[in-house]
Structure 1
Amino acid sequence: MTTYRTLGRTGVQVSPLALGAMNFGARGNRDHDDSITIIHRALDAGVNVIDTADVYSQGESEEIVGKALTGGRRAKVFLATKFHGRMGDDPNQQGNTRRWIFRAVEDSLRRLNTDHIDLYQAHRPDPATDFEETLGALTDLVRHGKIRYYGTSVHPPAQLVEGQWIAERRGLPRSSTEQIPYSPLVRSNERDVLPLAQKYGLGVLAYGPLAAGWLSGGYRVGARQPKSYREDRIPGRFDIAAPGNADKLAAADALAKLAEDAGLTLIQLSVAFALNHPAVSAVIIGPRTREHLDGYLSTLEVRLTADILDRIDEIVPPGHVFHLRDTGALPPAVTEPALRRRPLPAPSDTREGARPT
């Protein structure tokens, strides 16, 4: 029997495992019938949260989820999706603007075959759009009955605090959740986001418990590196010759040995670790096959002892960062040089030989 948890301060009871639908569709499992079978299998096992996004296979994931939730299943599911990513050639078919949010939610409702979304999330920050504008638009969707709650995904700590301040100042409903990567190999969010979530009552949906496959059991010292579609998309992240990745490989190997000594699979160890943090409401799993799902479901009965948790801390210290990409989406101040550099003065503003200030 599944033991449910409270999602932040919403009072909503959610299963500790949330079914992530990113791998359903063109970027993962292309077989709709098989994907629907996996969804039904998860729901029958007690999972009551499904998380997807409009950008996953350009809407195909949402369509598969919509097909799976017919026949009365929708009423028992806490359905979450996300907006932000580019969904067309029009430059306004993306971002966190009021204009796009109002269109994007209607598109998602149609694909999901539902009249409301339980949790609507800003997939990434949008530096071009005032955050207050975004929160105001989401508030209007709550009032219109299109969504029940709103949340964010991979937003920097300062913006999470700003969101709380905006809501208090304007009398808006507060953000209910934050989505972050979290696993024994990806621990940077222990520094600030997880404590902030506890302070402000945000429900944390932790994704990537296997650290993009590093903790699947295939990455071992001396073994042949497994092939992965992620490797083709982000090759530098999986190059074990890189210094940071070499350290990560050694840690993954040590964690695999620890799991073996404890009589667990590495998947069980990793998911149980993420579930153990008091700020985490649910861990998002992203199976592509039925076998993947069964492996995840086996983690529900696992409880890690203090000795095992201490050993994990020795292998990967709390808050440790192997690679900046592991922290999730890097903030614009890091990725956009123009935000870190003063503009050069016009030629007429400088005298020959003088240094512009």
Structure 2
Amino acid sequence: MSLSELRVFGRSGTPISQLTLGTMNFGEGAGGPHGAPTGADESIRIIHTALDSGITAIDTADVYSQGESEQVVGRALRGRRDDVFLATKFHGQMSANPAHSGNSRRWITQAVEGSLRRLQTDRIDLYQAHRPDYNTDVLETITTLNDLIRQGKILYYGTSVFTPAQLVEAQWLANTNHLIPPLGNQVPYSMLVRGNERDVLPIAQQYGLGVLAYGPLAGGWLSGSFTFEAGKAPTRVHSLPGRYDISGPASERKLLAADALARLADKLELSLVDLSIGFALTHPAISSVIIGPRNEEHLQAYLGAADVRLSEPVLDAIDDLVPPGTNFVERDAGAIVPSIEFAELRRR
């Protein structure tokens, strides 16, 4: 595998690079619990380096830094827009007004105009529902997105972290109502987050969906920043509260698995990043893996991983450490459905 090798995005016939540049870290508002933000000038340099290195796909969202990420991408793509498969997302709340969010026709028709303006483009290649909206009928959402295709404002549309039932429902509604069905789905996927292998990825293959896999380093668990020594409490460099709480038994098992995977990478004389990206790229349902560098050093580490090829024995060894279909922690799956998140929906 290498960046010179392109993959077709689902049933679209559109070739894209095996790595997609994710821009969640770009913009001054991208700091906080996720770390220091990457300023506009450095973000633009990273984008240009990525494009010069062979990356042809960029993924952003209106809610990233409350529009700053899209603005940075728009500036960086001046004169290069036609060379990029540009994906962005709607759903997140964009102001103090809660009506400025969700998957309704009212909000989507406003949100797309804001994204087009910030991205300085006349069309979005892939427009994605960032999360399911349990207050909006799915048919309303996909009908609105079909209208945007007919208007030429978007070329394709997709979803992110939709459940298997929601993926099938969207395809069925589109087909029975003579609409263009969703083309893509975005999912978390890594050696530590494999739950989507059970149903989401097979469904994507069945319906010809292009899949953008995010979180190949499992939110930092496979970055190499964890340390584990026998007889000592496990720690993480720059630990984040909550998400990286390793006091529970599930997280302890996850940490032990991360440590075992790091040891496997050492045995193979690979970096843990190389092993992680190589693994994510191996699944036949994955169209492209989203990388989210904070600086050019991170970018170079990701770019090198595109050349990694994992043999069947290595993949078997990974399966032995983390069985297929495994999620250690429920929230790793992405969006948690309301019936699980809210107790009042499952109790009398």
TM-score, normalisation: structure 2: 0.95
Q: Deviations over 1:251-275 (max 9, x none)?
A: 0111011111111100010011010
Aligned length: 336
Indicate the larger mover: 44-53 or 329-338. 329-338
2:286 counterpart of 1:280: yes
Amino acid at match of 1:182: Y
1:244 paired residue among 250, 270, 287:
250
Distance in 2, matches of 1:5 and 1:208, equals 19
**1:1-357, aligned counterparts within 5 Å?**
2-25=4-27, 26-28=29-31, 29-70=37-78, 72-222=79-229, 224-228=235-239, 231=240, 235-342=241-348
Distance in 1, matches of 2:168 and 2:272, equals 35
Any stretches of 5+ residues in structure 2 without a counterpart?
32-36
Distance in 2, matches of 1:325 and 1:91, equals 24
Q: Deviations over 1:224-256 (max 9, x none)?
A: 42105xx1xxx2221122211111111011101
Distance in 2, matches of 1:226 and 1:290, equals 20
Larger radius of gyration: 1
Identity of aligned residues (%): 60
Q: Are the aligned partners of 1:48 and 1:76 in contact in 2 as well (CA < 8 Å)?
A: yes
Distance in 1, matches of 2:319 and 2:98, equals 45
Distance in 2, matches of 1:325 and 1:219, equals 20
Amino acid at match of 1:57: S
Q: Are the aligned partners of 1:237 and 1:245 in contact in 2 as well (CA < 8 Å)?
A: no
Q: Secondary structure at the match of 1:96?
A: coil
Distance in 2, matches of 1:100 and 1:332, equals 21
Amino acid at match of 2:242: G
Q: Are the aligned partners of 2:38 and 2:294 in contact in 1 as well (CA < 8 Å)?
A: no
State the Cα distance separating 1:90 from its structure 2 match.
1.7
Amino acid at match of 2:14: V
Match of 1:348 in 2: none
Distance in 2, matches of 1:331 and 1:98, equals 22
Distance in 1, matches of 2:247 and 2:338, equals 28
Q: Are the aligned partners of 2:105 and 2:141 in contact in 1 as well (CA < 8 Å)?
A: yes
Match of 2:34 in 1: none
TM-score, normalisation: structure 1: 0.92
Any stretches of 5+ residues in structure 1 without a counterpart?
343-357
Q: Secondary structure at the match of 1:330?
A: coil
Distance in 1, matches of 2:246 and 2:94, equals 34
Amino acid at match of 2:152: G
Amino acid at match of 2:180: P
Q: Are the aligned partners of 2:245 and 2:251 in contact in 1 as well (CA < 8 Å)?
A: yes
